[in-house]
Amino acid sequence: MHTNCHSRICSRRPAIRQGITLVELTIAVAVFSVLLATSAKMIFVASSQLRANERRNVALQTVQAVSEQIGNIPWDQLTSGSASQITIPESVTSYLPGAKLIVSLEDETDPAAKRVRVEITWNGHGDQRAGPVRLTSWVFPENVPTE
């Protein structure tokens, strides 16, 4: 029998590793799973924030449009009743779930004006009320020059 021994000290060649062990593979899969789960959560949060920002932008545009509609009502016909007849467009109610529009009108005396407050709320994530988005504007009577 042939051995590699020199002066009673035997030397062995280290075994050359080929491939990966099951422990290394398990650790790699666990790290990858954690990274994948974290990435998915971040993508979900980012998309939720994007959707919320888009809805807020639609609500702001709707409040501006309603305020402009009210401002186009002739001065002598502009009352709380006529202002409250304006509703949210159907396309907006489908985009803003549970949208609710509140319009209030107050008469001002010095100078003569009508203060218009428009507010919209809607259901956000988890059916919690989102918003509100508010806009206050004033409508003044047209000055008709007298001759």
Of the candidates 73, 69, 105, 66, the residue with the CA atom closest to the CA atom of residue 88: 66
pTM beyond cutoff 0.85: no
The answer to whether the beta carbons of residues 87 and 101 sit under 8 Å apart is yes
Return the pLDDT at 58.
93
For residue range 76-123, what is the model confidence (pLDDT) as tens digits?
889 888 888 888 888 888 889 889 999 999 988 888 899 999 999 998
Burial 41-68 (b: 16+ CB within 10 A, else e): eeeeeeeeeeeeeebbebbeebbeebbe
For residue range 19-53, what is the model confidence (pLDDT) as tens digits?
778 999 999 999 999 999 999 999 999 999 999 89
Return the pLDDT at 144.
45
- Higher per-residue confidence, 86 vs 146: 86
Question: Rounded to whole angstroms, what are the CA distances from 16 to 12, 13, 24, 49?
Answer: 12, 9, 17, 53
The predicted model gives 122-144 an average pLDDT of 83
Is the predicted pLDDT of residue 6 greater than 80, yes or no? no
